[in-house]
Amino acid sequence: SYVFEAPLFGGDDGLGGIARLDLSFIGLDLNDGRSFALFCLGVLAAIYGAAVLILRSGLGRSLSGVMHNEQRMRALGLTVWRVKADVFGLSGLISGLAGVMAAQHVMFVSPGLLSWTVSGEALVVVILGGLGTLVGPLLGAAVFVLLKHEVGALTSYWHLVVGIILIAVVMSRANGIFGWIEARFAARIERRAADAVRDIDPREVKTDA
């Protein structure tokens, strides 16, 4: 309630007039739409690269083990709660950076961002894209924003459309959009391999005497 009532945070009206970072010393004007978009892509690439390095580190391997079999990792002597705490802190850091970029984009912070629905949208994005992957949430975010803007322009019930798609994704038992694409590619590769084996002439196969 303090955040909603404190004049420091703008109260119910939110906090407006947020200035974008001054990067003129490197020749980058973030007030230009194209420059700001490139800056956001650069930040995204940096976060993605850092996430890849984390997954390849000891913490990443421990996290993978906990995700697949927490009891086994605990039996091996791993302090599971510490791994979860580290990952929770890292996810909070990334979420904070995302919040900063969002505030820089619209130059305004609304109290509505503290609503539980915003956290729910994050879960929807992850489920749509694919759990346990780095590319999945990116795909999920792109699809979610596309549905929100395009379907939202046609009807105010765009949440219903997203919900139906989410149910379809869950019932398909595919790991989100990325899991579905990955499964399609794997099936195609298997078919090509099977066709290649079938086309081999047995008479051309030489065996060692």
**Domain boundaries in the chain?**
1-111, 115-209
- Which tokens sit at 170? 């869950």
> In angstroms, rounded to a whole number, what is the distance separating the alpha carbons of residues 20 and 103?
9
118-133 pLDDT, tens per residue? 888 888 888 888 888 8
The stretch 48-65 carries a mean pLDDT of: 91
What is the C-alpha separation between 152 and 135, in angstroms, rounded?
25
Task: Specify the pTM.
Answer: 0.73
Burial of 180 (0-12, 13-18, 19+ CB in 10 A): middle
Q: What is the pLDDT of residues 19-49, one digit of tens each?
A: 888 887 887 788 888 888 888 899 999 999 9
